[in-house]
Structure 1
Amino acid sequence: MKSAVETLNPTRVRLTVEVPFEELKPSLDAAYRKINQQVTVPGFRKGKIPARIIDQRFGRGAVLEEAVNDALPKFYSEAVSEGDLNPLGQPEVDITELKDNELLTFTAEVDIRPEITIPDYTGIEVTVEAAEVTDEDVAEAVEQLRERFASTSVVERAAAEGDVLKLDLEAKVDGEVLEDGVAEGLDYTVGSGQLLDGIDEAVTGLEAGGTATFTSTLKGGSAAGQESEVTVKVISVSARELPEADDEFAQLASEFDTFEELQADSRRRLADQKKYQQATEAQEKVLDALLELVEVPMPEKLLKDEVETRKHNLEHHQLGQLGMDLEAYLKIQDKTVEEFEDELKEQAEKGIRTQFVLDQIAKSENLTVSQEELTEHLVRRAQSSGMSPDQFAKAVVEGGQVPMLVGEVSRGKALATVVESVKVTDTNGEPVHLDDEDEEGAEAAAEVVEETTEAGKGEDKAEKAENA
């Protein structure tokens, strides 16, 4: 077999492959055996029909077609190996010449992973928020905890902010009550900003038995995105009473004996959260700065597939679960179809560029993924998906997605390596140190990579394409 590679552009090549007919013989023999098992010819036992009879009855062309279809993947793979290529996705194959007992010639056009040169990135500088915990932050956290342990009691007065109301709702569109537009006995906290725009203004000042009508754009259901006339009736008004901020509350709400210990624990938790948020911000800003430095040719077919996958996942998974279609979603987001598609393309392109760049850095830095790192990543992904680690691991193995997880960990390590090499300061001018051994830094890097490259639930288009 002989093969030649023609570069069509930085991300696409054409392979021309010539196969001497004798190299087709194993596939030709297999084609005769297969046809032998599928057809019946009077006078011959099944599986014992001579090749010349098959040629006479069914045509030599049918046999050749079966043989070529069987052999093409093998010859294509050999040509890819000879050319030292990194193909993305399936090739477009065209048989240009097939001479019986002489020669098979075919071409295969395929996208390839582009060659990327990573420039010196050590001069990158980013600024992130300082990871400071104020007394106000602690007070707010404690207040939120008190809110969780608040008690309610029915009162005979008009509803005010913070009250818990029991409501009946009825939504109409074009004067017709929606089948899924009626709710009874619904609990709602005035001022929470949940449910529907305009409901807080409508119920404030109403007593039990009072009603009000207002217009609002529905956020979900069969008429999501449409303007509706909503009638709300207040069944009861309950006042919320927060527990005293004392040692008794600390014992009720935590494992601590004193309120002072509870406050100290809240401060520690907030400090951890702020540090993680700071690490995430640093990773995101460093990644953006890195991508600005690197020229990445974009495989157009891969980009098109990525855009379609992201759109499909949004329409059929995320929005589908909310009972909403794309038109309603765009109305709520106040976006045109063109704006949505431009944004989707930009996100997809950034995801692909991120994968290519971080994969190249991981290769250059000889970064490897240990079993322990892969297991830790799997456990974290399982937690975020709501599955047990065993369930998630089984789904990953059955779906052939282990390489995808390895890629996520590798890219996270690559990003953490870059962050460790650049200058990160906080808004107070203090240096921020996040190395790839730092738990917050490593986890933040992995999550930033996932958020940027994911096309949906665990999708990794470049990785999947390369393994196709």
Structure 2
Amino acid sequence: MKSAVETLNPTRVRLTVEVPFEELKPSLDAAYKKINQQVSVPGFRRGKIPARIIDQRFGRGAVLEEAVNEALPKFYTDAVNEGEINVLGQPDIDITEFNDGEQLKFTAEVDVRPAIELPAYDGIEVTVDPVEVTDADVDESIDQLRERFASVNTVERAAADGDVVVLDLEAQVDGEVLEDGVAKGVTYTIGSGQLLDGIDEAVTGLEAGGSATFSSELKGGSAAGKTAEVKVDITAVQAKELPELDDDFAQLASEFDTIEELRADSRKRLERTKKYDQATQAQEKVLEALLELVDVPLPEKLLEDEINTRKHNLEHHQLGQMGLDLDGYLKIQEKSREEFDAEVEEQAKKGIKTQFVLDELVAKEQLSVNQEELTEHLMRRAAGSGMSPDQFAQAVVEGGQVPMLVGEVARGKALATVVESAKVVDTNGVEIDLDEDDEDETGETGETVRADSEGTGPAAEEKAGETVQDKAEDAEGKADEA
């Protein structure tokens, strides 16, 4: 076999392959054997039909076609390996020359990973928010805790902001009551904003037994995006009673003996959360800065597939679970179809570019993934999936997705390398030291990468030669979460 490679553009090549007829013999033998098992000829047992009889009955052309179809993948793979080509996705193959007894000649056009020239990244500098916890932040945290331990008592008065009301709802669109528009015994806190737009104004001032009607645009269900006339009947008004902010409350709500100890612990927790947010922000900004330094040509077919995959996942998985279609979603988001398409395309471009650049860094820095790192990452992914670690691990192995997880961890380590060499300062001018403890606390530097690199979603990762599924929707989730 002989092969030659022609570069069509930075992301696509054409292979020209010539195969002597004698190298097709194993595939011809396999073709005769396969046909032998599929057909019946009077006077011959199945599987024992001579080749000349098969040629006479079914035509030599059928055998040759079967043989070529069986042989093409192997010859294509051999040509890819011979040319040391890093292919993406499936090739477009065209048989240009083939006759019985003569050489087989075919071409294969396929997308390839572009050559990427990595810049010096040790000069990257980004600015992040400072870690500042105020007394007001602590007060808010304690108040939220008090809300969890609040008691409610039925009162004989009109409902006011902050009260809990028990109510029945009935929604109509165009005069018809919706099948999924009736709810009984709903508990709602006035002012929480967790139900329908307009309900706070409708129920405020009503006593038990009172009714009101208001208009509201439905956010989900069978009539999502439509305006409904909603009737609300109040069956009870309850007033919240918050526990006193004293040592007794501290002992009730925590392991601490005094309110001062509880406040101190709340402050520490808020500081840890803000450090996490700061580290995540630093990772995202460093990644953005790195991507701006690199010119990455994107394969057209890969980009098209990634865009289609993202749209499909949104329409048929995420929106479907919320009872929305795309038109309803766009209406809620106040976006036109053109704006949505442009946004998805931009996200897809960023996701693919992120993966290419970080994969190049993995190769340049010769980063590897050990079993402990892979196991820790698997545990995190399992927690996010709602599955047990054993169930998630089994699904990963059965789905052939171990290479996907390895790639995620490796890209995370690549980003960590860049972050470690970057200068990170907060808006107060204080230089931030993102040491290993910070990274561990934030959950793993690579998690941010998955979102937009796995944001490179299933299409891009699978096309990039990895056995991958999506989930990335966290690089929308964080960069796959950098």
- Give the shorter-chain TM-score range: over 0.9
| One-letter code aligned to 2:68 | V
Inter-partner Cα distance in structure 2 for 1:55 and 1:438: 71
Taking every aligned residue pair, what percent have the same amino acid on both sides?
Answer: 73
The CA deviation at 1:463 is 4.1
Residue 254 of structure 2 aligns with an amino acid whose one-letter code is S
Residues 165 and 190 of structure 2 are in contact (CA less than 8 Å); yes or no, is this contact kept in structure 1? yes
Greater Cα shift, 42-51 or 296-305 = 42-51
> Secondary structure of the residue that 1:209 maps to in structure 2?
coil
Cα distance between partner residues in 2 of 1:417 and 1:34: 53
- Where do 1:208-287 residues align within 5 Å? 208-287=208-287
Q: Is the 8 A contact 1:88 1:462 kept in 2?
A: no
The aligned counterpart of 1:459 is 458
Structure 2 distance, partners of 1:465, 1:365, is 20
Q: Secondary structure at the match of 1:306?
A: helix
Counterparts of 1:214-363 in structure 2 under 5 Å?
A: 214-363=214-363
Shift of residue 444 of structure 1? 5.3
Instruction: Give the corresponding residue for 2:28.
Output: 28
Task: Name the aligned partner's letter for residue 142 of structure 1.
Answer: I
Distance 1:269 1:248 in 2: 21
| Alpha-carbon distance between aligned partners in 2 of 1:2 and 1:162, rounded to the nearest angstrom | 79
Deviations 1:106-131 (A, max 9, x none): 11111111110111122221110111
Question: 2 CA distance for matches of 1:437 and 1:242?
Answer: 38
Equivalent positions of 1:58-457 (< 5 A) are: 58-435=58-435, 438-440=438-440, 443=443, 445-455=445-455
Secondary structure of the corresponding residue to residue 466 of structure 1: coil
Cα displacement (A) at 1:440? 4.3
Amino acid at match of 1:446: G
Cα shift at 1:258: 2.0
Q: Which runs of at least 4 in structure 1 moved beyond 6 Å after TM superposition?
A: none
1:454 to partner: Cα distance? 3.1
Correspondence 1:50 to 2:50: yes
State the SS of the aligned residue for 2:431. Answer: coil
Task: Using the TM superposition, give the Cα deviation of residue 238 of structure 1 relative to its aligned residue in structure 2, in angstroms.
Answer: 0.4
| Structure 1 stretches lacking a partner, 5+ long | none
Distance 1:436 1:73, change over 3 A: farther
Residue 257 of structure 2 aligns to a residue whose secondary structure is coil
What is the CA-CA distance between 1:248 and the residue it aligns to?
1.4
Supply the RMSD in Å over aligned alpha carbons: 1.5
Pairwise CA distance, 1:453 = 2.5
Question: Post-superposition shift, 1:200?
Answer: 1.1
C-alpha distance in structure 2 between counterparts of 1:120 and 1:246, whole Å: 56
- 2:303/2:460 contact within 8 Å kept: no
Deviations 1:5-44 (A, max 9, x none): 1111110111110000111100100000111111111111
Q: Match of 1:239, SS?
A: strand
Task: Using the TM superposition, give the Cα deviation of residue 438 of structure 1 relative to its aligned residue in structure 2, in angstroms.
Answer: 4.0
Q: What is the rounded CA distance, in whole Å, between the counterparts of 1:93 and 1:441 in structure 2?
A: 50
TM-score by length of 1: 0.97
Q: CA deviation at 1:393?
A: 0.6
Quote the offset at 1:461 in angstroms: 2.5
Q: Contact between 1:412 and 1:442, CA under 8 Å: does it hold in 2?
A: no
Name stretches of at least 5 consecutive residues in structure 2 with no aligned partner: 468-482
Give the match's secondary structure for 1:409: helix
The answer to whether the 8 A contact 1:280-1:441 is kept is no
Secondary structure in structure 2 of the residue aligned to 1:183: strand
8 Å contact 2:150–2:243 — kept in the other structure?
A: yes
Deviation at 1:464, TM superposition (A): 5.0
Q: CA deviation at 1:251?
A: 1.6
Residues in 1 aligned to 2:24 and 2:86: alpha-carbon distance in whole angstroms: 26
Q: Give the Å deviation of 1:323.
A: 1.1
Are the aligned partners of 1:87 and 1:110 in contact in 2 as well (CA < 8 Å)?
yes
Q: Deviations over 1:323-378 (max 9, x none)?
A: 11111111111111111111111101100000000111111111111111111111
Partner amino acid, structure 1, of 2:279: A
Residue 450 of structure 1: CA displacement? Answer: 1.6
Aligned residue type for 2:161: E
State the one-letter code of the partner of 2:439: E
**How many residue pairs were aligned?**
467
SS of the counterpart of 1:64?
helix
**Cα pair 1:413 1:442 within 8 Å, conserved:** no
Counterpart of 2:75 in structure 1: which amino acid?
A: F
Q: Secondary structure at the match of 1:180?
A: strand
1:51 and 1:289 mapped to 2: Cα distance? 65
SS in 2 for 1:445: coil
Helix, strand or coil: the match of 2:443? Answer: helix
CA distance in 2, matches of 1:441, 1:268: 13
Contact 1:153 1:238 (C-alpha < 8 Å) held by counterparts: yes
SS of match in other structure, 2:400 = coil
- State the Cα distance separating 1:409 from its structure 2 match: 0.8
Q: TM-score, normalised by structure 2?
A: 0.94
2:439 touches 2:445 (CA, 8 Å); kept in 1?
no
Give the residue type in structure 2 aligned to 1:362.
V
In 2, the alpha carbon distance for the partners of 1:444 and 1:151 equals 40
Compared with structure 1, are the counterparts of its residues 72 and 53 closer, same or farther at alpha carbon in structure 2 (3 Å cutoff)?
Answer: same
**Residues 91, 109 of structure 2: 8 Å contact kept:** yes
